[in-house]
A and B are shown apart, each in its own frame.
Chain A
Amino acid sequence: MADAAASARRPERPLSPHLQVYRWPVTMLTSILHRITGVGLGAGVLLVAWWLIAAAAGPEAYATFLAVAGHWFGRLVLFGFTWALVYHLLNGIRHLVWDAGYGFEKTRAERTGTLVIALSVVATLAVWGLAYFSMGAF
């Protein structure tokens, strides 16, 4: 009875995003992924710094870098770095288009979000295809 009275006073309203119970729209996913990949790319900058400093330091330091980068775990990290960079780049373009005032309609934003996620996977695989090709894998 009390419940019925309460719901009569307070009509059902959409709740603000709650991480555990809210069905994630693709726009919410792309938004938080942009942040996570952005912060993660800080580690990527450190890898780039290691690469360049090792090259500048000499053959011995560079050999150490190559050994770590070529290890399966090193490759896994680099694969994640590639995806984070590609995703952040593509979704960043989406943000710049929004800043210019276009594509902010709900269905548009959802469609471009799905497109960005799909393209980021395809582009990451293409980059690694190029990498293995230049290593003479095929």
Chain B
Amino acid sequence: MAASKSSLRTPLGKVRGLGAAKRGTEHFIAQRLTALALIPLALWFVWAVAAHAGADYAAATAFLSHPVNAGLMLLFVLAGVWHFTLGLQTVIEDYVHADGLKIAALVLVKFAGAALAVALVIAVLKLAV
């Protein structure tokens, strides 16, 4: 969105009065809420994995099939994928300036995040149900 060089209006003057981009606050709050949720969830995940390090198939699936563990794992992976998608979006918006490439990357991140979330949900539910 390069400003025309022939225009005498400043970039600030052009956007003044147009209001906010509407979506910024939502992104900011979702990023912080998922961060907050991930504090206890990540601590639980790290403990769970470390305490079951080297566990064989039977022990691992027994742990993952307990409803409480399956629920916590679902919350962890969903909050994690969501938080990561929001974060990577910010990184792309900060560093990728070519419009086409930026939009392609943002769409790819969102699609990949959705696919990953669905795959993880199916895996966890298959173990638990």
Interface residue ranges, A against B (CB under 8 Å):
35, 38-39, 41-42, 45-46, 48-49, 52-53, 55-56, 59, 62-63, 66, 70, 82, 85-86, 89, 92-93, 95-96, 99, 127-128, 130-132, 134-136
Q: How far is the CA of A93 from the CA of B116 in the complex (A)?
A: 26
Count A-B contacts at CB 8 Å.
Answer: 93
- A38-B87, A52-B127, A62-B57 known, 8 other contacts, Cβ within 8 Å: A39-B87, A48-B77, A48-B80, A49-B119, A56-B124, A132-B53, A134-B51, A134-B54
Interface residue ranges, B against A (CB under 8 Å):
32, 35-36, 38-39, 42-43, 46-47, 49-54, 56-57, 60-61, 64, 73, 77, 80-81, 84, 87-88, 91, 116, 119-120, 122-124, 126-127
The answer on a CB contact under 8 Å between A56 and B52 is no
Contacts of B61 in A (CB 8 A): 55, 62
Partner of B54, one of A35, A85, A93, A135: A135
Q: How far is the CA of A40 from the CA of B28 in the complex (A)?
A: 21
User: By DSSP majority rule, is chain B's interface helix, strand, loop, or mixed?
Assistant: helix
List 12 A-B pairs, Cβ < 8 Å: A41-B84, A46-B116, A48-B80, A48-B120, A49-B77, A52-B73, A55-B60, A56-B123, A62-B57, A96-B32, A132-B53, A134-B53
The 4 closest A-B pairs by CB, nearest first: A131-B53, A135-B54, A56-B123, A52-B123
Q: How far is the CA of A130 from the CA of B43 in the complex (A)?
A: 13
Residue of A nearest to B46 (CB): A127
The answer on a CB contact under 8 Å between A38 and B124 is no
